[in-house]
Structure 1
């Protein structure tokens, strides 16, 4: 499709799909956050949340600005990205009404041990840590993959420390020492 010489190739359709997915997830996260706070939940680590939002917005914007409409197709990377989306859905469905993009904790709520949480403490962060550089590699932008992959790891390192501190008391109360 062209408009004034602009070609809207498969890469832009992929970026549009990812952006729409993120918007739907933000809507769901805000809804869940409101419900959790109404049940007596409390937010932890609020001060770093704008950094996460800015990082993800800058990542998508950078991809949109630097992507060629028809970069080389890397089917293996696309398949891996699709698998990560299945894992993302598994995390979201496992957490259900407890999934948000913020750290909301309710003291008496049980910690999830089902789904991917049987294997990893933070499976959603593993998905995000992989998909940020992977999408850039799919779009043939290795420097963007490296820069945003490293920035995201730095933010996740900070976030996981804050989240682990918030959940430590609940782990002890639920018999999950450590």
Structure 2
């Protein structure tokens, strides 16, 4: 199998993973809304969908059009980062359980989650997104896609994190925080 074909399979597998995320997200968003969940940041959500779709399409298009020489050290190291970012993403999903979705929805009265990767970082899922956003295209030296996605994603995440922090601030403190107060 050529490296370009292997890269295409990898990107398609990430696309299938995204569909699985959407299935989980839709189910979990409905669960949150049934419990009075309040959504914030609807305005930036369509841009997020287009940007993340563009990452997959752009990486494939650039790889097929440019057909760059790919140093094996670059391909393997970036593949390791892609796998690590997927593991972190699914750790986040498992930790948040029914409260995880692709939108910013908080259920009033539920304290923020402070376990799993959230005891180490406020937004570990976005770490996974940032790492995957540059690593996935670079598995096949699609550096233009990696740079464009990274720059646009930085702007999106600035908005997204502000939105999420404001929404989380409406919740009661997590149990460990409540005992310190």
- 2 CA distance for matches of 1:172 and 1:116? 18
User: Which structure 1 residue ranges, 4+ long, deviate > 2 Å from structure 2?
Assistant: 68-73, 171-177
Alpha-carbon displacement from aligned partner over 1:120-158 (angstroms, at most 9, x marks no partner): 000001110111111111121112111111101110110
Equivalent position of 2:157 in the other structure: 156
Name the TM-score, length of structure 1 as normaliser: 0.89
Tell me which of the two structures has the higher relative contact order, counting C-alpha pairs closer than 8 angstroms and 6 or more residues apart.
2
Structure 1, gaps ≥5 residues long: 2-6
Structure 2, gaps ≥5 residues long: none
Name the TM-score, length of structure 2 as normaliser: 0.87
Equivalent position of 1:88 in the other structure: 89
Q: How does 1:1-178 map to 2 (within 5 A)?
A: 9-68=5-64, 72=70, 73=72, 74-170=75-171, 172=173, 175=177
In the alignment of these two chains, the number of paired residues is 173
- 1 CA distance for matches of 2:20 and 2:128? 17
Q: Look up the SS of the partner of 1:144 in the other structure.
A: helix
Alpha-carbon displacement from aligned partner over 1:10-59 (angstroms, at most 9, x marks no partner): 01100110000001101110111011101110111111111100111112
> How far does residue 64 in structure 1 lie from its aligned partner after superposition?
2.0
- 1 CA distance for matches of 2:168 and 2:79? 34
